[in-house]
Amino acid sequence: MNLALFDLDNTLLSGDSDFEWAQFLVEQGVLDRELFETKNLMFYEQYKAGNLNILEFLDFQLQPLSRHARKVLDVWHEDFMRIKVRPMMGAAAKELVARHRGAGDVCVVITATNSFVTTPIAREFGVEHLIGTDPELINGEFTGRVSGIPSFREGKITRLESWMADRGWNWSSFEETTFYSDSLNDLPLLSKVKNPIAVDPDPTLRKHAEEQGWKIISLR
């Protein structure tokens, strides 16, 4: 049995669903453009630089969910998928996932982006399992707070190992473990798997991958 792990933003997607969700809400007039667009760009640059404070970002990202009923958010997300997400889903990424699924591998999208935004995206790629940062829900509605450990940096390893344990698995349950990512923020998990693969990597990850002899691919 093999395990195939996929980062989502700028890996399977040719863009960032976190960033684009906030931009979508701005464009729909749900969020104030001047305030939220500037902060969205600021957090995105921090993420790319590897110095994002995940809790500050999640406070920014999850608060809008708490201001609207879940059924309204679900309608907006359908439009978000059509307008923003599907254009970022390239043929090469779809073929990569299909190849792992066809081989019978256990496939997991593992992402720092919240699971409200990413669950339908993983489903569209045909990936059954998703490990994302979970927004807190009370009585079916979002509170604007995070639930549990964010799936970010070392948190991805913690969340993944908990997910494995829930299924009676551990690292030794798999003959091969592969992780695809573009980001320096995923160096902890990339260093944990047997087959780390850098996908259209940022400069820091590319340099590290070249030094370590990791495979580098492009899905663009």
Map the chain to HEC letters. CEEEEECHHHHHECCCHHHHHHHHHHHCCCCCHHHHHHHHHHHHHHHHHCCCCHHHHHHHHHHHHHCCCHHHHHHHHHHHHHHHHHHHECHHHHHHHHHHHHCCCEEEEEEEEEHHHHHHHHHHHCCCEEEEEEEEEECCEEEEEEECCCCCCHHHHHHHHHHHHHCCCCHHHCCEEEEEECCHHHHHHHCCCCEEEEECCCHHHHHHHHHHCCEEECCC
Compute and round to an integer the Cα radius of gyration of the chain: 17
What are the structure tokens assigned to 183, written together? 């980001």
| Catalytic-role residue among 9, 105, 186, 202 | 9
| 105 among known catalytic residues | no
- Asked if 9 is an active-site residue, the reply is yes
Which one of 7, 16, 105, 186 is the catalytic residue? 7
Positions marked catalytic? 7, 9
